[in-house]
């Protein structure tokens, strides 16, 4: 499937939570399906930390299918025969929307001069895009992981802009452990001499080694222990010399799980910008929807008239079910209509991206209901 | 308390699992309490990944108390009024026993020419020390985490050398997730340009940045999510300018958990050698006691006449209770006498190092019984 990836330049600056104005913001997005004449059938899909607008398009760098192609398309749970589906790269990222690699007004990349942003700032950019498109009220906002944070933030801060909120495998606040894992990744990037305080654009050497380590550490948190054991266990790599299943007594990747992680790390550096990784993880760590609304999460949803659906996975230890339940309790306290399901899945946090028939039924049922 | 840290040079070479001979092995150890005339009251305490022989002595580099001072000493659960307690630095480590920083026969440090070792090789070194001391049979071998692996390895491979085996918060094999976390740490070290393929001894710059990232990633696995939340939550650091509890909208350590992790990482580099970290994590990843004994864990313990005690902590997600239970089932199948207790503790894997009265009672009861 191919969409129509394009760039929208917002008409005005974004007033950011950190106090500064971000001028000349561009939002890169893809759209699928026809927008109804009354503009009532738009669904905004929000992407996760390292995702992008290529939700149902072949990725232009990796050549891989869109990150949620199994969910978005004609006849699929988010059915582009019925809905106009929009997916936009968040600000701070690196696939066309304004971020640290973008050129600032002085003609040089922002690099670390890019302002620190929040999840709400990302959603400001998305709402700006909806304004440009003339979409006043979404049929639904949908997202998993950091995408779910955006969905909850939109519901809390722009309650009139959506009729439905579907938040999958997510949380209303980053925990100490979540922050800790991100901090390891940031330290790995900033320890890489090729990072050069962020000023590596145009240099021969990029902070790929640090970014790869950051990705490896994060990747472990996306998978369950059982999933890793099932997929790799303690199985050994075949050696380059053809030897099967023998330890090298060296430091090459002996175990399949080592080889897999190295592959995940090095592949990631081809498609992602290290500074974007710093900024987006920071935004996630800052995310605390209750704190934004006086300290009580229910108050965040006091103005909402949307219907909510929360989904968690029993093997997700990054944003475990208790985090979704915490949101559900707040929605109950706010009197908002909410359905909640914990799905059983062996693959941990990444389950939301993988084949899961029960998830498909929940998504379809909620959006079409 | 001060012991009598000293070096023992083994009389012969060690035949290693990887096939090579390690010559001129030195073992640095500390000993506490009187050895009985019949040499029957010796307890060998085995240390964890980053531990050392300073179990009940002030650490010579950090100036901090011994790592298990609350457990080892006069009148303590491992009572030096009754027992002769020995704790030795494992080979591959960096506090006096032969390791990658040691000088090889050509007059230069081994660095990455040091042979890859296994947990069993570490125990070979410890058994060599016991031989030199004339201790044929221990009253007990005791260890937590990697120390527990050594205790189990000694019981399996030198069954006549100990009457009791106390293994705390440990496992008989490293899981895919365990290996994955270690691999992240190794990649962080090896990505540091100051690592120089391991040849950094005597250089001005050491691979401290990579080693610190490795330590940070590992440290997260030593603590429970609840423990981190209880200790730090989302609390913010006071800013250098005196501002309390405000986000900096920058990349300094805003959250207390970030500051704590950075402190853990940088403090660690002052007392630990990066190459030792590579070798010891490799040994742990290679550890699979069943595989060493034909694939069936019970067979590892077939020749044992020791009594066993296994202890796990309910919040330990590094080596969860299921891993201890797996060992207990194997011991049951081997007909070995074993007691097992899962203790409740909020602090995750590190609970074995912390104040825990129930652990004290279990240790004392098992050793004195």
Query: CB distance A183–B282 less than 8 Å?
Result: no
List pLDDT tens digits, range B51-75.
999 999 999 999 999 999 999 999 9
The beta-carbon neighbor of A180 closest among B175, B220, B250 is B220
Residue of B nearest to A207 (CA): B191
The residues, ordered by sequence, that sit 6+ positions from B156 with a Cβ below 8 Å of its Cβ are: B289, B292, B293, B300, B301, B304
Reported confidence tier of residue A1, pLDDT bands at 50, 70, 90:
very low
- In chain B, residues with a C-beta closer than 8 Å to the C-beta of A191 are 188, 192, 209-210, 212-213
Average pLDDT over chain A reads: 96
For position B10, what pLDDT does the model report?
Answer: 98
Residue B249, C-beta contacts closer than 8 angstroms, at least 6 positions apart: A17, A18, A19, A115, A116
The residues facing A168 across adjacent strands are A144, A311
For residue B4, pLDDT over 80 is answered with: no
Span of A3-7, A108-112, B145-149 with lowest mean pLDDT: A3-7
What's the mean pLDDT in B320-328? 98
| C-beta atoms of B225 and A175 within 8 A | yes
End-to-end CA, chain A: 26
Indicate which of A188, A196, A225 best probes the interface with B, i.e. most B CBs within 10 Å of its own CB.
Answer: A188
Whether residue A190 and residue B285 make contact (CB cut-off 8 A), yes or no, is no
Q: What's the distance, CA B316 to chain centroid?
A: 15
**Do B177 and B171 form a contact (C-beta atoms < 8 A)?**
no
Say whether pLDDT at B129 is over 70: yes
- Paired with A78 in beta bridges are A72
pLDDT at B115 over 50: yes
User: What pLDDT is recorded for position B299?
Assistant: 98
Q: Does the beta-carbon distance from A265 to B187 stay under 8 Å?
A: yes
- Cβ burial, residue B275 (10 Å; 0-12/13-18/19+): buried
Three-class DSSP labels, B264-279: HHHHHHCCCCHHHHHH
Per CB-CB distance under 8 Å, the chain A contacts of B247 are 286
Distance from CA of A252 to the nearest CA of B (A): 10
Q: Do residues A53 and A96 make contact, with C-beta atoms less than 8 angstroms apart?
A: yes
Q: Would you say the C-alpha torsion A18, A21, A26, A29 has a positive or negative sign?
A: positive
Question: What confidence tens digit (pLDDT) does each residue in A278-316 have?
Answer: 999 999 999 999 999 999 999 999 989 999 999 999 999
- Measured CA to CA, the distance from residue B129 to residue B135 in angstroms comes to 9
The Cα-based distances of B129 to B42, B59, B132 in angstroms read: 12, 22, 5
| Alpha-helix residue ranges (DSSP H) falling in B90-168 | 119-133, 146-157
**What percentage of chain B has pLDDT greater than the value 70?**
99
Instruction: Report CA Rg, chain B.
Output: 20
* Measured distance CA(B39)–CA(B48) in Å, rounded: 26
pLDDT at residue A214 tops 80: yes
**Cβ pair B187:A212 closer than 8 A:** yes
* Chain B CB contacts of A192 below 8 Å: 191
Q: Which residues of A touch B228 (CB under 8 A)?
A: 175-177, 180
Strand partners, B367: none
Question: Rounded to 5, what percent of chain B is helix, strand, coil?
Answer: 40, 15, 45
Q: How many residue pairs bridge chain A and chain B with CB atoms within 8 Å of each other?
A: 156
Do the beta carbons of residue B145 and residue B219 sit within 8 Å? no
In B304-362 the beta strands, taken as DSSP E runs, fall at 307-313, 338-343
- B183 has a pLDDT exceeding 60: yes
Which pLDDT does position B1 carry in this prediction? 44
DSSP-assigned beta bridge partners for residue B30: B87
Instruction: Tell me which residue of B360, B356, B194, B364 sits closest to B275, measured CA to CA.
Output: B194
Angle formed at CA B250 by CA A144 and CA A126, multiple of 5 degrees: 35
Q: Is A349 a catalytic residue?
A: yes
Distance (Å, rounded) from C-alpha A138 to C-alpha A43? 6
Task: Check B192 against A187: CB less than 8 A apart.
Answer: no
Say whether B217 and A184 touch across the interface (CB within 8 A).
yes
Residue B137: how many other CB atoms lie within 10 Å = 14
The residue annotated as part of the active site, out of A93, A102, A145, A324, is A145
Measure in Å the smallest separation between the Cα of A346 and chain B Cα atoms. Answer: 14
DSSP A100: T
Q: Which two tokens stand for residue B263?
A: 């402190």
* pLDDT band at A242; cut points 50, 70, 90: confident
Q: What pLDDT, on the 0 to 100 scale, is given for residue A369? A: 87
| pLDDT score at A3 | 52
User: How many Å apart are CA A199 and CA A176, to the nearest integer?
Assistant: 30
DSSP 8-state class, residue B320: -
Predicted confidence (pLDDT) at residue B2 exceeds the cutoff of 60 = no
Instruction: Give A198→chain B minimum CA distance, Å.
Output: 12
CB atoms within 10 A of CB B322: 11
A213 and B176 within 8 Å at the Cβ level: the answer is no
Contacts of B317 in chain A (CB under 8 A): 225, 317
Residue of B nearest to A230 (CA): B176
Q: Does A241 or B116 have the greater pLDDT score? A: B116
Of A112, A179, A234, the CB nearest to B258: A179
Residue A41 DSSP one-character state: -
Span A146-170, average pLDDT: 98
Give the pLDDT of residue A4.
63
Nearest CA in chain B to A253: B183
ipTM, 2 dp: 0.95
Largest CA distance in chain A: 67
Mutation target vs B (from A21, A120, A176; most B CBs, 10 A cutoff): A176
Residue of A nearest to B266 (CA): A187
* Closest to A306 in 3D by CA, of A170, A169, A168, A166: A166
- Nearest-neighbour CA in chain B from A278: distance (Å): 8
How far apart are the CA of B220 and the nearest CA of chain A, in angstroms?
7
Sign, CA torsion B111/B271/B124/B134 = positive
Which listed residue (A57, A121, A273, A316) is catalytic? A316
**Each residue's pLDDT tens digit, B202-225:** 999 999 999 999 999 999 999 999
Which residues in chain B touch residue A183, judged by CB atoms under 8 angstroms apart? 216, 253, 255, 257-258, 261-262
3-state class (DSSP) for residue B339 = strand
The predicted model gives B229-233 an average pLDDT of 95
Write out the DSSP string of A226-280.
Answer: HHHHHHTTTPBPPPTTS--S---SSSS--BHHHHHHHHHHHHHHTT--HHHHHHH
Best of B206, B234, B269 to substitute, by most chain A Cβ atoms within 10 angstroms, is B234
- Span A178-201, average pLDDT: 98
The verdict on a CB contact (< 8 Å) between A220 and B115 is no
Helix axes B119-133, B274-286, angle to 10 degrees: 100
Which sequence positions of B are flagged as catalytic? 145, 316, 349
Q: Closest partner residue to B180 among A115, A212, A261, by Cβ?
A: A261
A33-52 pLDDT tens trace: 999 999 999 999 999 999 99
Supply the pLDDT for residue B3.
52
Q: How far apart are CA A218 and CA A238, in angstroms?
A: 26
CB pair distance less than 8 Å for B212 and A225: no
Mean pLDDT of the region A270-279: 98
The alpha-carbon gap from A253 to the nearest alpha carbon of chain B, in Å, equals 9
- Report DSSP letters for B238-249, one per residue: PPTTS--S---S
- pLDDT value at residue B245: 74
Rounded distance between C-alpha atoms, residue B306 and residue B285, angstroms: 26
Q: How far is A304 from chain B (nearest CA, A)?
A: 26
**pLDDT tens for each residue of A306-362:** 999 999 999 999 999 999 999 999 999 999 999 999 999 999 999 999 999 999 999
Q: Do B179 and A213 touch (CB under 8 A)?
A: no
B140: phi then psi, degrees, rounded to nearest 5: -165, 150
Q: What is the mean pLDDT of residues B235-260?
A: 87
Locate the chain B residue with the closest alpha carbon to A254: B286
Could you tell me what percent of chain A has a pLDDT over 70? 99
Contact between B302 and B191 (Cβ < 8 Å): no
Residue in this structure with the two tokens 């012969």, named with its chain if needed: B12
A228/B180 touch (CB, cutoff 8 Å), yes or no? yes
In 10 A of CB B296, how many CB atoms? 13
CA distance B190 to B197: 7
What is the C-alpha separation between B206 and B199, in angstroms, rounded? Answer: 10
**CA dist., res. A274 & res. A216, Å (int):** 14
């Amino acid at each position: 499937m191919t969409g129509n990836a394009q760039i929208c330049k917002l008409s005005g600056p974004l007033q950011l939570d950190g106090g500064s104005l971000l001028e000349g913001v561009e939002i890169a997005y893809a759209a699928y399906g026809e927008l109804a004449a009354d503009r009532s059938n738009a669904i905004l899909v929000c992407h996760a930390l390292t995702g992008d607008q290529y939700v149902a398009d072949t990725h232009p760098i990796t050549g891989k299918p869109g990150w949620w192609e199994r969910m978005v398309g004609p006849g699929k749970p988010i059915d582009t025969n019925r809905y106009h589906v929009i997916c936009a790269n968040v600000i701070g990222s690196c696939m066309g929307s304004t971020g640290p690699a973008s050129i600032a007004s002085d003609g040089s990349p922002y690099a670390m001069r890019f302002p620190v942003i929040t999840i709400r700032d990302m959603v400001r950019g998305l709402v700006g895009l909806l304004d440009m498109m003339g979409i006043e009220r979404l049929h639904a906002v949908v997202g998993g992981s950091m995408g779910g944070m955006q969905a909850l933030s939109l519901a809390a801060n722009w309650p009139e802009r959506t009729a439905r909120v579907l938040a999958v495998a997510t949380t209303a606040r980053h925990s100490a452990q979540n922050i800790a894992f991100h901090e390891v990744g940031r330290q790995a990037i900033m320890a890489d001499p090729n990072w050069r305080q962020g000023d590596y654009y145009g240099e021969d050497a990029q902070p790929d080694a640090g970014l790869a380590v950051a990705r490896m550490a994060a990747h472990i948190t996306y998978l369950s222990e059982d999933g890793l054991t099932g997929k790799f266990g303690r199985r050994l790599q075949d050696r380059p010399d053809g030897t099967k299943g023998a330890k090298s007594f060296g430091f090459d990747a002996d175990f399949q799980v080592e080889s897999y992680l190295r592959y995940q790390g090095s592949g990631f550096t081809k498609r992602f910008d290290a500074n974007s990784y710093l900024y987006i993880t920071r935004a996630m760590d800052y995310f605390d929807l209750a704190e934004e609304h006086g300290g009580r999460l229910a108050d965040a949803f006091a103005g909402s008239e949307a219907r909510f659906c929360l989904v968690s996975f029993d093997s997700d230890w990054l944003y475990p079910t208790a985090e979704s339940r915490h949101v559900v309790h707040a929605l109950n306290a706010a009197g908002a209509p909410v359905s909640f399901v914990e799905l059983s899945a062996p693959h941990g946090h990444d389950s939301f991206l993988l084949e899961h028939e029960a998830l498909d039924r929940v998504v379809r049922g909620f959006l079409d209901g």
